[in-house]
Amino acid sequence: MEFFLRQVYPWLVQASFYSFCLPLLTGVLLINKRSSLLYRLLLLYIVFIALVEVTAKVTISLKTTNNVWIDHIYTPTECLIVAAVYYSHFTNPLLKRGTVVAACGVVVFSGAYVLWGESVMEMNSLPRMLNGVVLIAMAVAYFYQVANDLSQTYLDRDPMFILSCGIIVYQAGTAVAFSMFNKALAASYDTARICISVILVLNILYRVVLMLALKRTAAT
């Protein structure tokens, strides 16, 4: 444990921070005037992730006591962007309406959680979990749509399928880690770092998935 926290953890933090460069550089290099709506939404999502990472880095360099407040902004904004991605690809009107309602619900709940729930200086565990459930539900709904579309034969070429697989793994894993964070932090900083380590690994893997989704989108 001590070796991990002193040697591996700092390296993992840096790797997670710079991992946004992979999809961001890919997106910038492949974008053109004919880029699809999906491509532009994915690139917007990646740019937003990059801004969040840079903001977090700046707050650390300024030696602020806490930058957890960033998650209270990240969670509802992420939900809105990803919901826009799925909304543009759902063909069923019921799924489209459900996507709008679910995204608005996450935004409202996140705002209410700040006002009447945990302090903005504490991890927004419940909004994170709700956001994860909503995004996973969107991914599963897309799987259902694809399963009923006989024209789709090579799913590995479908950028939305790749994105949906990444979302399920990432959101499920981070939701569990974030739900344990506040209690882990109350126990000790080292225990909390273990939760953060899981999130860091998932961050790296998810951004690789975003890069692959961008490349598939550009190729279609």
Q: Per-residue pLDDT tens for 12-49? A: 888 988 999 999 999 999 888 777 899 999 999 999 99
User: pLDDT value at position 128?
Assistant: 84
pLDDT band at residue 4 using 50, 70 and 90 as cut-offs = very low
**Tens of pLDDT along 54-65?**
998 888 777 776
Q: Which percentage of the chain shows pLDDT scores above 70?
A: 90
pLDDT band at residue 153 using 50, 70 and 90 as cut-offs = low
Does residue 129 surpass a pLDDT of 90?
Answer: no
pLDDT band at residue 84 using 50, 70 and 90 as cut-offs = very high
**Tens of pLDDT along 168-211?**
999 888 878 877 776 777 777 777 778 888 889 999 999 999 99
Does residue 3 surpass a pLDDT of 60?
Answer: no
Q: What is the mean pLDDT of residues 143-162?
A: 82
Closest of 182, 176, 209, 156 to residue 49, by C-alpha: 209
Q: Provide the mean pLDDT of the chain.
A: 86
User: pLDDT value at position 119?
Assistant: 66
- Give the residue extent of every domain in the chain: 15-219
What DSSP letter does each residue of 92-136 carry, written as one string? SHHHHHHHHHHHHHHHHHHHHHHHHSS-TTS--HHHHHHHHHHHH
User: pLDDT value at position 57?
Assistant: 85
Instruction: With H, G, I as helix, E, B as strand and everything else as coil, classify residue 149.
Output: coil
pLDDT band at residue 1 using 50, 70 and 90 as cut-offs = very low
Does residue 2 surpass a pLDDT of 60?
Answer: no
* Contacts within 8 Å (CB) and 24+ apart, 104-111: 105/130, 105/134, 106/75, 106/76, 106/79, 106/130, 106/131, 106/134, 107/76, 107/79, 107/80, 110/72, 110/75, 110/76, 111/76
pLDDT band at residue 7 using 50, 70 and 90 as cut-offs = low
Stated length of the chain: 220
More confident site: 162 or 69: 162
